[in-house]
Chain A
């Protein structure tokens, strides 16, 4: 190993053989394969059919998430200063949004969330890998990036750490690790936070940096999400382009529909995520939104109803606000917990969109129903798959029964089968 002609990669390779069958091998391999593509493909878990290894897949998703993360850092600062000074009158992207002050707020608030999420999650993963003696699994690379993006910005770091431990251990490791879980771990973490610490996860104080600390004082600021406004029957003051480009309050990374759309296209063209799920989820939410708009147009519900605000919300705007776009692109398409069959994906996606909008409207306690809708469909995804597969088997059996089998001989002429050959 002291040979100086050896490249860094070679040295690591020698070290890998040195560590083989040792207790620390999984931990070492995890770093090794993070830096260099290994010479082996993934042979267990969800990714058994692909030619590359799972870590490349995960890294592709992270690449799709990076623009969202950067945007969220700027938006953190933008929302913070806008809540204090008021929104700028003539908004210019360079002077008001992409400034160092905004970015600095983002670094001090969003980056710690990312670090805690990755740190705690990977520690749990490494402990389990060393105890169980298998390779460290790559699944957490994406989960660790998703988690900071779907929580409110001022989530205390210890809460995040507790939730990450819960999500990784109960949501994933007890099932045997990556590729075996039934619920999306990132959403399990979000649901844990939501039900365990509701005051930090909803309301009008949690979406803007420092709003909780300043509350009650003379400098109190607040930023309610659009869905929050609607659930209480208030008006909101954001334009459609604000909603589309994401200059609105909300969970850290969910606001910019534009960047999420780009990320989604990137995932579709790199064949990582299923376009069927995304498309059918969009259709599902539009259908439900249209149905609610229809109810309002028919006059079956009056303005005094507590559901009126969200029911009269234009159907296509549901896709622009809240976490619907983020959930559809990055979490509904999870290859492990979603439906696996093609027809199953259509059904699964449709119900995600459908249920998300329904929960938004009918359940004012959870103005953000997307994560619960995806969790619910995660629960039913195996059932959908089961019946799709049963249906396929039945159809093929029928086809087999009706088929006449005429194997061709060497000259290409069809030859009738004799009874004993069947």
Chain B
């Protein structure tokens, strides 16, 4: 249970798809002009991630991993098909996206029209493939955790696109310098939002990986440098002695 909770918050906030690893930027930047459209796309991404990550987990577990084919019989135990990961994962994703597209067109034609080309493009949204590949490389253990990971990283992406869409609606009245209007200012906003999300960097791990060095102080550093310089000088002197001799 605890690991579920931890994974949930970790993938929403700490390993946020947009602000921690900067994945899925194309649709994030392009479909964030209005909150309503952003919510639609975000929901679609959550759905696709929630379906594809567990599916790909099954594929990975019973087909791709080193020795995954052992359930067929002992003679297959040596196969390692993980070089097929990319192509199988992307095939799963493309199928699911096609399904979502059909469903959205049927039930919400207005959302379908406003999402336009970006709905089929979810298939190549790097956040989706990234989700499956992270699932593989982080060695998520159970199907339940894989589902959890898909949903929560989808929610993280959803929150990001929701926040930037609201900000972009707000700054529509701002007097942004003409050369920066449109994408330029959106990139700047994304960077600034990334600073805000830095508050989660290194959380829970105790700042072991992403923490600024707290204990160090510059004076000690300079002393170390001086010592190193001294050593180098001494060595040079000794080298010179050897050469002269």
Contact = CB atoms under 8 A, between A and B. Distances in A.
A379 B167 contact: yes
Nearest to A213: B219
A364 B196 CA distance: 17
Contacts of B221: 199
B74 interface: no
The range of chain A's interface size is: 35 or more
A202 interface: yes
B171 A306 contact: no
A363 B207 contact: yes
Interface in A333-385: 355, 359, 362-366, 369, 372-373, 375-376, 378-380, 382-383, 385
Contacts of B126: none
A386 B36 CA distance: 11
A200 B219 CA distance: 11
A7 B199 CA distance: 54
B121 interface: no
Interface in B33-57: 35
Contacts of A176: 174-177
Given A176-B177, A199-B216, A203-B215, A365 B207 contact: yes
A170 B192 contact: yes
A305 B162 CA distance: 36
Interface string A162-185: 000000001100111100101100
A25 B146 CA distance: 62
Q: Is the interface of B mostly helix, strand, loop or mixed?
A: helix
A91 interface: no
Interface string B190-224: 01110111111111101100111111111111010
A203 B218 CA distance: 11
B164 to A, nearest CB: 9
A363 B203 contact: yes
A188 interface: yes
Contacts of A183: 192, 195-196
A191 B198 contact: yes
Contacts of A199: 212-213, 216-218, 221
In the complex, the 3 A-B pairs of residues with the closest C-beta atoms, listed nearest first: A365-B207, A198-B212, A176-B175
6 contacts: A174-B185, A180-B171, A182-B170, A199-B212, A383-B35, A386-B35
